[in-house]
């Protein structure tokens, strides 16, 4: 009696189809990243281009980033291959791989505080505290109160947005946005990194997958901490992959 259905052949075909699809998606992601860097390479000198062409694309050696594509939403806390992003000490041709911010769940505290403060005047009015004041004074107090809340929300939002950790193919960067007129930027070369540790603890951190990545370096600043960032294990693994790639480049004499 002939076999009507061969399960092993079917599974083999399904597996090969999935592999082909994954390979196709990987190729598409690489093309997007290469297109993103075209404008950077256009500004390089011939000598810089010669050095740069020997560097491998991060998709070629990173298990962490090979399935990641260019993300265009600037509000991402785990922002891979960001477009139109640069920092002051960035070298020509240096590729920004990842921009990290604190996980959005960590911002719930100030958001909840702002919401409660918005309802506070209503509570005070209901208690009759301002009944003896003229209406124009009540209005002035309310406007001043909500302006203070607006300032608090704007300051907290900007602090979250601009306090970032940047990982490039050459270094790590810690940008501390302390005020509208002052910021502190610390950097360390990848080849100066000595140890990388990812720490997650507690129920909330485990559920939402965020934690702290601690980086020990031989640079001027000997310790970097990426606080409350999403997917800390991925970040730690990526840094270790970059360290290995930097060592490979040194062995092959490809470092600029």
Q: Can you name the residues that pair with 188 across neighbouring β-strands?
A: 172
Kindly state whether residues 18 and 129 are assigned to the same domain: no
* Inside any domain, residue 175: yes
Residue 1 within any structural domain of the chain: no
Tokens 């193919």 correspond to 169
**Of 142, 158, 174, which one is at a domain's C-terminal end?**
158
**119 lies in the same domain as 201:** no
CA dist 94 and 200 (Å) reads 30
| Rg (alpha carbons) of the chain, rounded to whole number | 25
Compute the distance between CA of residue 214 and CA of residue 225 in angstroms, rounded to an integer.
5
Whether 141 and 16 share a structural domain: no
Q: Which two tokens stand for residue 251?
A: 């062995």
Please report the sign of the dihedral spanned by the C-alpha atoms of residue 161, residue 162, residue 168, residue 173.
negative
70/111 same-domain check = no
For residue 129, the enclosing domain spans 107-158
The separation between CA 107 and the C-alpha centre of its own chain, rounded to angstroms, equals 16
Please report whether residue 2 resides in a domain. no
In this structure, what token pair is assigned to residue 91?
A: 């070298």
Q: Cα 198 to the chain's mean position, in Å?
A: 15
For residue 205, what is the enclosing H or E element? helix 203-208
Taking alpha carbons only, the member of 111, 104, 103, 107 closest to residue 152 is 111
Residue 241 falls within a domain, yes or no? yes
Same domain, 145 and 195: no
Query: Count of domains in the chain?
Result: 2
The answer to whether residues 75 and 85 touch, using CB atoms and an 8 Å cutoff, is no
Same domain, yes or no: 143 and 24: no
Which tokens belong to 217?
């370096």
User: Is residue 132 one of the residues assigned to a domain?
Assistant: yes
| Residue numbers in the chain where pLDDT is lower than 50 | 1-5, 7, 25, 28, 256
Of the three residues 126, 142, 158, the one that is the final residue of a domain is 158
Residue with tokens 């209406």: 135
Tell whether 114 is covered by a domain: yes
Q: How far is CA 15 from CA 9, 19, 22, 140, in A?
A: 10, 6, 11, 69
- Measured from the Cβ of residue 130, the count of other Cβ atoms closer than 10 Å reads 15
- Is the residue at 82 inside a domain? yes
């Amino acid at each position: 009696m002939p076999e009507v259905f061969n399960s092993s052949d079917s599974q083999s075909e399904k597996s090969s189809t999935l592999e082909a699809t994954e390979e196709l998606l990987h190729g598409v992601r690489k093309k997007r990243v290469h297109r993103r860097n075209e404008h950077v390479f256009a500004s390089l000198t011939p000598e810089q281009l010669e050095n740069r062409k020997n560097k491998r694309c991060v998709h070629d050696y990173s298990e962490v980033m090979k399935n990641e594509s260019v993300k265009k939403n600037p509000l991402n806390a785990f922002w891979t291959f960001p477009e139109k992003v640069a920092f002051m000490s960035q070298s020509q041709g240096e590729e920004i791989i990842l921009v990290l911010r604190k996980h959005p769940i960590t911002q719930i505290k100030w958001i909840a505080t702002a919401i409660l403060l918005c309802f506070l005047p209503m509570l005070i009015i209901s208690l009759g505290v301002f009944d003896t004041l003229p209406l124009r004074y009540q209005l002035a107090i309310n406007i001043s109160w909500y302006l203070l809340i607006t300032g608090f929300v704007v300051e907290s939002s900007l602090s979250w947005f601009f306090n970032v950790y940047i990982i490039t193919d050459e270094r790590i960067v810690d940008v501390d946005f302390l005020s509208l007129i002052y910021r502190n930027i610390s950097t360390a070369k990848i080849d100066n990194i000595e140890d990388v540790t990812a720490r997650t603890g507690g129920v909330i951190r485990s559920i939402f997958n965020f934690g702290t990545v601690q980086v020990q370096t031989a640079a001027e600043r000997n310790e970097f901490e990426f606080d409350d960032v999403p997917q800390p294990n991925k970040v730690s693994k990526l840094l270790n992959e970059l360290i290995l790639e930097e060592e490979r480049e040194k062995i092959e004499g490809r470092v600029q």
